[in-house]
Structure 1
Amino acid sequence: MTQPTTLRASRHALSRCLLLALAAAPLLAFAQEAPDSLTLQLQQIRAQSDANNRAATIARYSALLAEHPGNGDVLLARGRTYAWDGQYAAAEADLQQVVQNSPTYADAWSALGDMYRWSDRPQQAADAYSRWVELAPQDPAARIARGRELRALGQTAAARADFDAAASLGADPAEITQLRDSLLPRMANPDVVASNGYRWGASLGWDHTRFSGGRQSWNDNDLTIRRYFPRGSLGLELLRADHFNTADTAWALDGYAPLWSRAYANLRYQHGPSSGVLPRQAWRVEVFQGVGSGWELSASVDHLRFSDNTEFYGIGVGRYVGNWYGRYKLQHVPGVGSGSWSHRVLLRNYYKGDADDYLEVSVSSGRSTDLDRFGSVVRDNNAAIGVAWRHQVSPRWGFKLGAGYADDDAGFDEQRVSGSIYTRW
């Protein structure tokens, strides 16, 4: 039986519609996935950006903002570029506008935190990263970023909690180990703290001091074995000094121990010959106290006994900023009249971000500005300068090289070189 003409036409039209719909489906999907014009322009600017010419990149973002006023993605991109370029006020203005208009934009809070971190505002950085953590609770990078700022603020327990949370979220185990180690007390003497689970260490050192005016050179040697603890260490030292054709030996115990919150002490006792170039006995007590954001105060007493007794009283202030450490120490030796005073400034850079590798320079003047273990610097210097390089060649082996110059008040110039080898297990 023949179908009615109208029914056949309807079926034919329906078939054509279905075919057209199937043919158009990939095109529709592509249109939905393809980036819009603004996204393409942002991608092009990022691809063509030049770290050596950020002004041009910022100008392109500004032109794009003129076409799309208040657009959050463009403001975020320009704000990040301002921050990379060190224009922190402009970066803050852009990024604050983004988070005010879009308070749930996680990337914007991350960028704002970075900007505050780079401009040395740890509390504001921690606050911004906290919003990032709230918006991206499963992102380990957010926890790590906030933990670093809490560490800078001296909030060790909270920082450790963030690092532990990042570990549970799948962060790199090696990075987490380094971050946890970084929460150990930062000390003015980084060589007395071990990381990566090592419990023992040893070092062998040699110092050579040459004098002008025909004065005989000095040679000093030391061997140290040190036991590391979670928050301190104890070292046994053997010292040998060869000065003025006289060679003496001494032994010493040198310990670093935690006290109360953000405080630790250096306690040292040294026993030498009954007479000679090394003191009969020497002891030191120095207490360090962390305060504020990265500041450290200290007070010390040193006692040296030769044929008579000499004491030194010191106060110091140190500052940790990122991978930099600086310290000033004022020291007083009682005596006739007002006694004598000395000044010492030290600047150290941990160029790899750990406690094993650093460069440092020190400048000093006055009496016994840099008391060493050999008791050989109980004298006056008009001015002295020293440099040192500490480098870890492998996880177990490292070395330290040093050099210095001093203008001795007695009329002698001094040139000093030193070297040490370190190992740990």
Structure 2
Amino acid sequence: MKNLTKILFLSVVFLTMTLPTIGLAQESFDPDMLYLDARKLILEGKREEGRMILSKVLGKYPEYGDVLILMGRSYAWDGKYDSAAIYFEKALIANPTYEDAYIAYIDDLFWSENYERAEAVIGMGLEKIGPQSMPIKYRSSRLFYYKEDYKSALKIANEVFAKAPKTEGLLGYIETLRRKTRVNALGATYDYDYFYGDLSPWNTYSVYGRTHTDFTGSLIARVTHSQRFDGRGTQAELDAFPSLGKNKYGYFNVGYSQASFFPKFRFGTSVFWNLPKAYELEAGYRLLQFSETTHIITGSAGKYISNWWLNLRLNFIPGKDGSSTSANFQTRYYFSGPEDFFSIQVSTGVSPDEETRDFQSQLLNSYRARVGYQHLWTSRWMGFGFVGYSRDEISENQFRNNLNVSIGTEFRF
């Protein structure tokens, strides 16, 4: 009996000494390393594996903010918005001034279209962190956008641009808002083309009016009058930019003229897609009817990078005697706002959208470079000026050198 008691006593002592050590060995881990491992798995699409690791970390560190946010994000990316919200709420309770928690939670609420709760979280974030939080302020603009209050959305977006112009996707977003808020405007442009040789200068004048309707989006009526080749001619056009959904819009153009240097009839249409990470793609078609009809397939790809906008357009022109292509690259650098920019443009061949050029006479070995500046001087007046130089192939051994100056202004009301 004494031996049995002694054995039990020694067993209890042994277990008392070893169990804490075993438990410590089981629970000892680096939470930061596990967070990085889980993040890698989740970004690779292995959500469940990543969440198992995050649950382990939360078991010991239940207020680890980045882990709570990543867990919420993983559920949001799977479309499980209610599950995601649980973790974002915990992250905000753990640290009410953690900006990343507000950003992730607001994004989740936008995706689930829970705008009422999103408004409350935005208000809480601006109260706890302050209006200097540009990411939260940017999302407050987005909230107005979803409510279709585009003027309020644009006002806030411009404030964000003034302090944080490198916000990803901001310029493209502002461009979308500008299309939705520009209701009425009148504008005029003038182009002067000087040719090195015997050809007389060209003078081209254009006036236009713009408004907005729910069906057409921006609607622009334009009349262009030009003096070319010792003759005169006028062209009338109508442009429309209808909305085709939340991230898509269209372009339609029709025009008519009896002048020989303008197409008798012109038609154009395109669809634009606003894609993630500030990309924009376009696919379209143009028709120009002179003595013969020219069909053109066109497309472009654009990207906003910080204060820069980059765009490459390609045109494909099928023909009976062979097909041809042309290209146009344009970049803009934005200064204090989305309508205050410097631009550079280079192009080869002929383009259906450059109306000041001689579409009929130019051949493929034509090149053009152009620089310019546009600025919104007041809330109502906008002005611009461009200077370009082109070397156009007229025949196999004949080239025409051209200096172009273009100025314009617009009044908004």
Q: TM-score, normalised by structure 2?
A: 0.61
| SS of equivalent to 2:136 | helix
Deviation of 1:342 (Å): 0.7
Q: Count matched residues.
A: 297
Give the direction of change, closer, same or farther, for the CA distance of 1:204–1:337 in structure 2 (3 Å limit): same
Alignment of structure 1 residues 26-425 onto 2, 5 Å: 109-110=98-99, 136=125, 138-139=127-128, 141=131, 144-146=134-136, 148=138, 156=142, 160=145, 175-176=155-156, 178=158, 193=179, 195=181, 199-229=183-213, 232-273=217-258, 275-336=259-320, 338-354=322-338, 356-366=339-349, 368-369=350-351, 371-373=353-355, 376-378=358-360, 379-380=362-363, 381-410=365-394, 411-425=399-413
Asked if the contact 1:208–1:220 (Cα under 8 Å) also holds between the matched residues in 2, the reply is: yes
Name 2:59's counterpart in structure 1.
none
Deviation of 1:371 (Å): 2.4
Deviation of 1:323 (Å): 3.2
- Structure 2 gaps, min length 5: 1-63, 68-90, 109-117, 162-169
Measure, in 2, the Cα distance between the counterparts of 1:330 and 1:123.
Answer: 38
Asked if the contact 1:246–1:276 (Cα under 8 Å) also holds between the matched residues in 2, the reply is: no
Deviation of 1:417 (Å): 0.4
Give the direction of change, closer, same or farther, for the CA distance of 1:179–1:283 in structure 2 (3 Å limit): farther
Measure, in 2, the Cα distance between the counterparts of 1:100 and 1:185.
Answer: 28
Measure, in 1, the Cα distance between the counterparts of 2:391 and 2:300.
Answer: 24
- Spell out, residue by residue over 1:354-407, the C-alpha distance to the aligned partner (whole angstroms, 9 max, x if none): 3x22221111112x1362245633423532111121111111112110111112
Deviation of 1:337 (Å): 5.1
- Spell out, residue by residue over 1:290-316, the C-alpha distance to the aligned partner (whole angstroms, 9 max, x if none): 122211110111111111111211111
Range with greater deviation from structure 2 (320-329 or 415-424):
320-329
Measure, in 1, the Cα distance between the counterparts of 2:311 and 2:105.
Answer: 26
- Structure 1 gaps, min length 5: 1-97, 114-121, 168-172
Asked if the contact 2:280–2:303 (Cα under 8 Å) also holds between the matched residues in 1, the reply is: yes
Measure, in 2, the Cα distance between the counterparts of 1:334 and 1:276.
Answer: 22
Deviation of 1:123 (Å): 8.5
Measure, in 2, the Cα distance between the counterparts of 1:304 and 1:372.
Answer: 12
Asked if the contact 1:255–1:268 (Cα under 8 Å) also holds between the matched residues in 2, the reply is: yes
Give the direction of change, closer, same or farther, for the CA distance of 1:289–1:123 in structure 2 (3 Å limit): farther
Amino acid in structure 1 at the alignment position of 2:305: V
Measure, in 2, the Cα distance between the counterparts of 1:336 and 1:225.
Answer: 39
Deviation of 1:256 (Å): 0.9
Measure, in 2, the Cα distance between the counterparts of 1:369 and 1:341.
Answer: 9
Measure, in 1, the Cα distance between the counterparts of 2:96 and 2:354.
Answer: 52
Amino acid in structure 2 at the alignment position of 1:141: P
Measure, in 2, the Cα distance between the counterparts of 1:100 and 1:392.
Answer: 42
Measure, in 2, the Cα distance between the counterparts of 1:174 and 1:267.
Answer: 25
Q: TM-score, normalised by structure 1?
A: 0.59
Amino acid in structure 2 at the alignment position of 1:417: V
| SS of equivalent to 1:193 | helix
Percent identity of the aligned residues? 19
| SS of equivalent to 1:146 | helix
Deviation of 1:174 (Å): 9.2
Range with greater deviation from structure 2 (413-422 or 132-141):
132-141
Name 1:21's counterpart in structure 2.
none
Give the direction of change, closer, same or farther, for the CA distance of 1:277–1:415 in structure 2 (3 Å limit): same
- Spell out, residue by residue over 1:249-296, the C-alpha distance to the aligned partner (whole angstroms, 9 max, x if none): 1211111111123111111111111x5211111111011111222111
Asked if the contact 1:241–1:278 (Cα under 8 Å) also holds between the matched residues in 2, the reply is: no
Asked if the contact 1:360–1:389 (Cα under 8 Å) also holds between the matched residues in 2, the reply is: yes
Measure, in 2, the Cα distance between the counterparts of 1:211 and 1:233.
Answer: 36
User: What root-mean-square deviation, in Å, do the aligned CA atoms of Structure 1 and Structure 2 show?
Assistant: 4.0
Asked if the contact 2:171–2:304 (Cα under 8 Å) also holds between the matched residues in 1, the reply is: no
- Spell out, residue by residue over 1:215-252, the C-alpha distance to the aligned partner (whole angstroms, 9 max, x if none): 22211110001113579311111110111011001211
Name 1:62's counterpart in structure 2.
none
Range with greater deviation from structure 2 (283-292 or 345-354):
345-354
**Which one has the largest radius of gyration?**
1
Measure, in 1, the Cα distance between the counterparts of 2:104 and 2:380.
Answer: 36
Deviation of 1:413 (Å): 1.2
Amino acid in structure 1 at the alignment position of 2:230: N
Measure, in 1, the Cα distance between the counterparts of 2:323 and 2:412.
Answer: 43
- Spell out, residue by residue over 1:61-117, the C-alpha distance to the aligned partner (whole angstroms, 9 max, x if none): xxxxxxxxxxxxxxxxxxxxxxxxxxxxxxxxxxxxx9779x85666x44x79xxxx
